Homo-oligomer: A and B are copies of this chain.
Amino acid sequence: MLAEIITIGDEILIGQIVDTNSAWMAEQLNREGIRIKQISSVSDNREHILAALAEAAMRTDIILITGGLGPTKDDITKKTLAEYFNVGMVLNLDALTNVENIFKKYNRPLLEVNRKQAEVPENCEIIVNNNGTAPGMWFNEKGKIYVSMPGVPFEMKYMIEEAVIPKLRKALKLPVIIHKTILTVGEGESFLAEKIADIEDSLPANIKLAYLPKMGQVRLRLSGDGDNEAELQRKIEEFAVKIIDRVGINVVAEEDIPLEKVVLNYMAHRGLTLTAAESCTGGYISHLITQHAGSSQVFLGGAVSYAYELKESILGVKNETLWQHGAVSEETVKEMAEGALLNFKSDYAMAVTGIAGPGGGTEDKPVGTVWIAAANANKTVAKKFTFGNKRLQNIERSAVAAFFMLITLLREDGM
């Protein structure tokens, strides 16, 4: 079964916002065995929206539309859908009640533009928006399903999970698609490809391997389709095991999860605690960890020690270490990790200090020089990395390398 995603809004086309909705929707639909044929972003323009709807309906059977449902004048999706289906608009009482309740809850006056949000094309079934004022709309016309949703991510996500997926499951009989992802860290795409070339060549026609590189990580994704779910699952597992054996220590997870979640899951399971001492990553490692629910079980906290003084006062790095070796050095990063361990009383600690750039480099320590450490009560390991000259990349790469170093230390302890 094929679907297409159409995102409507000039803000995507002028680059003011990144379209994160489509990736999320694609992932949800894939799990249900619905492949996304194309994602198209078009402007808040009547002709363009009409053309995109017609093109999508020629390619696919399910058309998911986001955006252009706000109360303001630049939002024209609703009336354009009515024109596309050649129907009039009606006031939907469920949608109106929802709008009224939201304004009552926040104790705000209900404006005429908000009342208008309850008007919808007369051929749609509405999807109540529990998180906002614009209703979702479900159309079933000439054998095609169209769903129009708000562009605000959490409003759309709620609708997809609570209404759209259950309705699609009911309306369609879906084929089996299985993905298996292997997360690797520390080796490049072409090195991995060469290493597993013969395994890749031996894949049957219904199973494909994709390489998904991202900042020091490569995800290897096996995707298969078929009628017999158990048989397909078995085949994919068989090839996954071959790849995992071949790639070896660079495999850190046999499922599609973020790198930091590999660490969190393991440490939570073992009742271990973690802290972080961050200089050049500036809170990014802590943020990666704490974005996950339940992270407080493992992560006690940490220091963002940007200034010299904070490295001393919070982490207990010795003044003479900073003075003799500099903030970006093996000695300093080790004292940072050990200081976090001691002062924050955790089982493990990570520390990062480096020159993220674009300024601050010297001949000895150019931009991209980063020292990373991981420590537990028995051992502190530290390693120097030389990344590039882009600030955000250096921050992201440092975080990846720090998690990999922590995993290596956890493995020595039996992970």
Contacts and interface: CB of A to CB of B under 8 A. Distances in A.
Interface of A: 10-20, 22-30, 35-43, 48, 52, 55, 70-74, 108, 111, 113-114, 131, 133, 152, 154, 179, 181, 189-191, 193-194, 200, 208-214, 219, 221, 223, 256, 276, 278, 281-287, 289-291, 293-296, 299-307, 309-310, 313-314, 343-345, 356-360, 388, 390-393, 395
A290 B282 contact: yes
Interface of A is mostly: mixed
A38 B27 contact: no
Contact of A152 (B11, B213, B345): B213
A293 B11 contact: no
A73 B17 CA distance: 32
User: In this complex, which of A179, A256, A283 has the most chain B Cβ atoms within 10 angstroms of its Cβ?
Assistant: A283
A295 to B, nearest CB: 8
Nearest to A110: B190
Nearest to A303: B303
The oligomer's copy count stands at 2
A16 B13 CA distance: 21
A209 B358 CA distance: 35
Contacts of A303: 301-304, 314
Contact of A309 (B39, B300, B357): B300
A14 B41 contact: no
A256 B16 CA distance: 9
User: Which 7 A/B pairs are nearest by Cβ-Cβ distance?
Assistant: A282-B290, A283-B286, A15-B27, A15-B26, A283-B283, A301-B306, A39-B41
28 contacts: A12-B22, A14-B26, A14-B27, A14-B223, A15-B23, A15-B26, A15-B30, A16-B212, A18-B19, A19-B22, A70-B211, A71-B190, A73-B193, A74-B210, A111-B194, A276-B304, A282-B286, A282-B291, A283-B285, A286-B287, A291-B391, A299-B306, A301-B304, A301-B305, A302-B304, A307-B344, A310-B344, A314-B344
